[in-house]
Chains A and B, each alone.
Chain A
C-alpha cells in the first residue's frame, strides 16, 4: 500500500472521510439511544383441561397418526423410540411443545425447532399420554409466576445447570455432538418440565432434589438475568472471553488499523 500507487483522481477534495466519520458517530448516537430504550416483552399461554374425555380422544387420534410408529400404540416403545410409560404430561408438553418431537431426522440429539402442533394439540397429546400412564404433570401457572428468589435461583442455577447450559444460559457442548441448548428464549414452563423430566441426556431434577419453589427461583433468576445482562451494552452472544477476543481482533484492531491507513495516507 503506497500512496504513489494510488490513482490520482478524486477531484472533489477530501471532505468525504470526515463526513463519513461524522455520519458513523451520529449513527452510533442514535442506535445507542434507540437501543437503550429498548425493552423486552412478556409471553402468554393458553389453557386446556387435560383430563377431559374430549381432550384425551383428540390426543389419542393425534398420537396414533404421528407418534405410534416409533413409540408404539400402547406407549411401550419400539426399536426406534423409547417407551413413554410414566413420562407424564410434562415430558410430552416439553418434547412436542419445543418442536423436538416428532423427530425430523436421526441426529446426535433431537434439536428444538418450530413446533409441528399448536398449543391445544400439544395439550391433547399430553392429556392422552398422561391418561394411559400417569407421570409428572404440566406445572401449574402458580409455579411459574417469576416471583421466586432470584439470588437463591441464580446460585442453584450455577451449581446445577451452568456447567452445561453456561452461566448466562447461552448453552454449551456435550460429548459426541450433543449439546445443552440455549435457554434465553425457552419458556418458563418448558424449563420447569425439562428439570422435572430430564429430557434425553439431561439428568432428572426431581422435587426432592430441587423443590418446586427452588425450580421457580431458578426460572426467576434466569429470566431476570437474561433481561439485565445487557447492562453494559451488546452481550456478544454471552459467550465470554472467546467472543470478546474475536471482537477485539476483528472489530477493535480492524477499526484501529483502518485509522492508521487513513492517518498515513498522503492527502490529495
Chain B
C-alpha cells in the first residue's frame, strides 16, 4: 500500500553481505525479510525524516487516544450487554437497588461497581473519547491556520474532515449505550429533530428506533455501529490519512535551510520512533490519571432512562454541544411570541423551521469547513505544491476566516450551556440566550476584522524587525547630544523566518478569448479582493540594502 513506487529495486547482494553478521537480531530480520521482502519497506521508510515541532504532534494525540479507545473499549465489550431487556438491579449501588432497568444500564453499573478496574477502564474510555475529538479538532485548527491543506494535501484534509465526523458519531453512539437518563434525553432530542425532517422524518424515526421512541432496539443498533461499523471506518480512514502523510512527506515551517524541496528533521529510526512511541505512553498515562482521579459520566447518579424525568443541566458531550446550542439559539417566534412563527401548517402538513434552520445552518458550516481548501485554491489560482507551512499572520484573510469560524462554533458551544453560564455568572437565561443570539451573528464578523488587523500589525512588526532590527532597550547619546535607542539587527537565520512567505495580489480581471468576463471570474475577483486587498509584502534584498545604508 505504502510502496507506491513503480519499480522494485531489489538488490540480491545486500542481504548476502549481512548474512554472517547481526546475531539474533540479524537472524530474525533475515528470517522475516526472506519471507516478506520487508527490507524494502525498512530501506524506504526506516530513515524517513520527520520535522520536529510541537504543533505537528497534535494529530498523533488523536491517533493515540483512538488506540486507547480501542484497547479500553475491547475490555468493556467483554462485560457490556447491549440489550434493552428489563432486569431488576441488584448490585452494589444502594439508591438503585430493586429498580427496573435495561440490561445495558445494569451491565454498565456492573462494570463500574463490581469489576475490579472496570470503573477505571470505563472512565479512561470516556476521557479518551473526549480527548479524541478535542485533539482531532485542535489538529484541524493547526492544519487550517498554517495552510497545510494546500496542494497536494487537499484530499487529505477531506479525509481528516471525514474522520472528525466519524469521531463525533463514535462519541454519540457510545454516549447513548448505557441507556441512562442523561443520554436517554439526548436520544429523545435526536428523535425529536429527526421527526421534524420534512416528508420522511416520522418514518426515519420509526425505522431507527424500531417503532415509537424509545423502543427496545436502539441500544443494540447503536452498539453495532459503535463497535463494528464506525471503528472500521475510522481505522480505514486513518490508514488512508497516514498513507497520504507518508506520500506527501510532512510539511515544515519556514526556517534556515528549510525549502519547499526538502524536509529537515529527525529520522524515523531511532529518534522519531522513540519520541512518537514514548508519546503514546504519555497520552495513555495522562488518560489513566484522569480515569483514576476524575469522575466522568456517573450514570448511577443519572439513573435509568425514563421518559418522564429530566435533569437540570441536560447537555450532550461537548462535541455535540454546538448542535444543541444551535437548537437553543433558534427562536421559535421571530421577534418574540406573537411574531413570525418558525413552525406552521400548510396544506395539512407541518413545516418545522425551528428544527430545519439549525440543521441546515450546521450542515452549511460543516460543508464550508470541508470545502475551504478548494475555495482558497480557486481564489489564488495557485497550482504549485506547498510544503512550507504558513505562519498564521502571513495569510491574514485565511486566519481571519478561521477565527470567524472558531467564533461561530464557540458561540454555538456556549449556547448549549447557556443555563450553566447563566447560573454561574448570575445572569438570566433569557438575556444569556439573547446575548448569544447576537454574538452568533456579530461574533464571527468581529473576529474576522479584529484578527485580520492583528495579523497585518504583526506582519508590519516583522518588517520593522527585518529592516531595522530589534529594540535592544539600550539608549545611547550621540556626539551631537541626540539620544537614540540602539537597534540590534537580526541574524540571517532569524531574518529568513520572517521573510520566507508567499504573498498574493488581488486578481486583475481580464476578458477571456471571447472578450467577455465570466460571472465566475467576477466572483473570484471579488473574493480575491476581500482576501488580498490589504497585504504586507515580504522584505526584499533591495529594501534591505536601502535600509542598511539609511
Chain B contact residues: helix, strand, loop or mixed:
helix
Q: Quick check: which of B243-251, B292-300, B381-389 contacts chain A, the rest being far away?
A: B292-300
A242 close to B131 (CB less than 8 A):
no
Q: In angstroms, how far is the closest chain B Cβ from the Cβ of A77?
A: 26
A256 close to B131 (CB less than 8 A):
yes
B429 close to A158 (CB less than 8 A):
no
Does A126 have its Cβ within 8 Å of any Cβ on chain B?
A: no
Query: Which B residues from 9 to 54 make CB contacts under 8 A with A?
Result: 52-54
Q: Mark B84-110, 1 if CB is under 8 A from A, else 0.
A: 000000000111111100000000000
> B295 to chain A: which residues have CB within 8 Å?
229-236
A221 close to B95 (CB less than 8 A):
yes
Q: In angstroms, how far is the closest chain B Cβ from the Cβ of A41?
A: 20
B419 close to A172 (CB less than 8 A):
yes
Q: Quick check: which of A11-19, A49-57, A163-171 contacts chain B, the rest being far away?
A: A163-171
B298 close to A235 (CB less than 8 A):
yes
Does B308 have its Cβ within 8 Å of any Cβ on chain A?
A: yes
Does B123 have its Cβ within 8 Å of any Cβ on chain A?
A: yes
B428 close to A176 (CB less than 8 A):
yes
Does A76 have its Cβ within 8 Å of any Cβ on chain B?
A: no
Does B454 have its Cβ within 8 Å of any Cβ on chain A?
A: no
Complex CA–CA separation, A233 to B291 (angstroms): 8
B428 close to A175 (CB less than 8 A):
yes
Q: In angstroms, how far is the closest chain A Cβ from the Cβ of B289?
A: 7
Contact of A5 among B95, B300, B420, B494 (CB under 8 A): B494
> B313 to chain A: which residues have CB within 8 Å?
166, 170, 172, 239-240, 242
Q: In angstroms, how far is the closest chain B Cβ from the Cβ of A222?
A: 9
A151 close to B95 (CB less than 8 A):
yes
**B414, closest chain A residue (CB):** A242
Does B283 have its Cβ within 8 Å of any Cβ on chain A?
A: yes
Complex CA–CA separation, A32 to B429 (angstroms): 38
Q: In angstroms, how far is the closest chain B Cβ from the Cβ of A223?
A: 10
A239 close to B298 (CB less than 8 A):
no
Q: Mark A229-268, 1 if CB is under 8 A from B, else 0.
A: 1111111101111101111110011011101110111100
B301 close to A229 (CB less than 8 A):
yes
A159 close to B309 (CB less than 8 A):
yes
A242 close to B428 (CB less than 8 A):
no
Contact of B57 among A163, A252, A263 (CB under 8 A): A263
**B122, closest chain A residue (CB):** A232
B301 close to A238 (CB less than 8 A):
yes
> B318 to chain A: which residues have CB within 8 Å?
241-242, 244-246, 248-249
Complex CA–CA separation, A253 to B181 (angstroms): 28
Does B279 have its Cβ within 8 Å of any Cβ on chain A?
A: yes
Interface residue total, chain B, C-beta cutoff 8 A: 77
Q: A232-B123, A233-B294, A240-B313 are in contact. Are A167 and B301 (CB under 8 A)?
A: yes
> A22 to chain B: which residues have CB within 8 Å?
none
Complex CA–CA separation, A248 to B103 (angstroms): 30
Q: In angstroms, how far is the closest chain A Cβ from the Cβ of B405?
A: 17
Complex CA–CA separation, A255 to B294 (angstroms): 15
Residue of B61, B119, B494 with most chain A CB atoms under a 10 A cut-off: B61
**A24, closest chain B residue (CB):** B289
Query: Which B residues from 307 to 323 make CB contacts under 8 A with A?
Result: 308-319, 321
Does B485 have its Cβ within 8 Å of any Cβ on chain A?
A: no
> A58 to chain B: which residues have CB within 8 Å?
none
Does B76 have its Cβ within 8 Å of any Cβ on chain A?
A: no
B279 close to A263 (CB less than 8 A):
yes
> A176 to chain B: which residues have CB within 8 Å?
428-430
Complex CA–CA separation, A175 to B56 (angstroms): 46
Query: Which B residues from 447 to 492 make CB contacts under 8 A with A?
Result: none
Complex CA–CA separation, A222 to B93 (angstroms): 13
Chain A contact residues: helix, strand, loop or mixed:
helix
Complex CA–CA separation, A108 to B317 (angstroms): 31
> A67 to chain B: which residues have CB within 8 Å?
none
A264 close to B429 (CB less than 8 A):
no
Interface residues on A, range: 35 or more
B311 close to A163 (CB less than 8 A):
yes
Does A118 have its Cβ within 8 Å of any Cβ on chain B?
A: no
B134 close to A232 (CB less than 8 A):
no
Q: In angstroms, how far is the closest chain B Cβ from the Cβ of A197?
A: 21
Does A162 have its Cβ within 8 Å of any Cβ on chain B?
A: yes
Does A4 have its Cβ within 8 Å of any Cβ on chain B?
A: yes
Query: Which B residues from 490 to 524 make CB contacts under 8 A with A?
Result: 493-494, 497
Q: Mark A160-187, 1 if CB is under 8 A from B, else 0.
A: 0011111110111111111110000000
**A262, closest chain B residue (CB):** B54
B130 close to A244 (CB less than 8 A):
yes
A252 close to B134 (CB less than 8 A):
yes
**B55, closest chain A residue (CB):** A260
Q: A151-B96, A166-B311, A241-B316 are in contact. Are A231 and B428 (CB under 8 A)?
A: no
> A2 to chain B: which residues have CB within 8 Å?
253, 255, 497
Does A225 have its Cβ within 8 Å of any Cβ on chain B?
A: yes
Complex CA–CA separation, A224 to B303 (angstroms): 14
Query: Which A residues from 137 to 165 make CB contacts under 8 A with B?
Result: 150-151, 153-155, 158-159, 162-165
B296 close to A264 (CB less than 8 A):
no
Does A28 have its Cβ within 8 Å of any Cβ on chain B?
A: yes
A151 close to B99 (CB less than 8 A):
yes
> B138 to chain A: which residues have CB within 8 Å?
253, 257
Complex CA–CA separation, A241 to B297 (angstroms): 7
B302 close to A167 (CB less than 8 A):
yes
Complex CA–CA separation, A146 to B16 (angstroms): 82
Does B264 have its Cβ within 8 Å of any Cβ on chain A?
A: no
Contact of A163 among B294, B310, B315, B427 (CB under 8 A): B310
**B420, closest chain A residue (CB):** A242
**B293, closest chain A residue (CB):** A233
Does B426 have its Cβ within 8 Å of any Cβ on chain A?
A: yes
Q: In angstroms, how far is the closest chain A Cβ from the Cβ of B270?
A: 15
Does A228 have its Cβ within 8 Å of any Cβ on chain B?
A: yes
Q: Mark B309-349, 1 if CB is under 8 A from A, else 0.
A: 11111111111010000000000000000000000000000
A256 close to B283 (CB less than 8 A):
yes
Q: Mark B399-434, 1 if CB is under 8 A from A, else 0.
A: 000000000000000001101101100111110000
B311 close to A167 (CB less than 8 A):
yes
Q: In angstroms, how far is the closest chain B Cβ from the Cβ of A57?
A: 40
Q: In angstroms, how far is the closest chain A Cβ from the Cβ of B447?
A: 18
> A221 to chain B: which residues have CB within 8 Å?
95
> B98 to chain A: which residues have CB within 8 Å?
151
Q: A228-B93, A252-B286 are in contact. Are A173 and B429 (CB under 8 A)?
A: yes
A240 close to B315 (CB less than 8 A):
yes
Q: A172-B423, A259-B279 are in contact. Are A232 and B57 (CB under 8 A)?
A: no
Does A46 have its Cβ within 8 Å of any Cβ on chain B?
A: no
> B314 to chain A: which residues have CB within 8 Å?
240
Does A34 have its Cβ within 8 Å of any Cβ on chain B?
A: no
> B61 to chain A: which residues have CB within 8 Å?
253, 256, 260
Q: List 9 interface pairs A-B (beta carbons < 8 Å), by A numbering.
A: A151-B97, A158-B181, A158-B309, A163-B311, A173-B420, A242-B313, A244-B130, A255-B286, A259-B279
A sample of 10 more A-B contacts (CB under 8 A), given A231-B300, A238-B298, is A151-B94, A173-B429, A174-B429, A180-B312, A233-B294, A245-B318, A245-B319, A248-B134, A252-B130, A264-B275
Which A residues lie at the B interface, using CB under 8 A? Answer: 1-2, 4-5, 28, 32, 35, 108, 150-151, 153-155, 158-159, 162-168, 170-180, 221, 224-225, 228-236, 238-242, 244-249, 252-253, 255-257, 259-261, 263-266
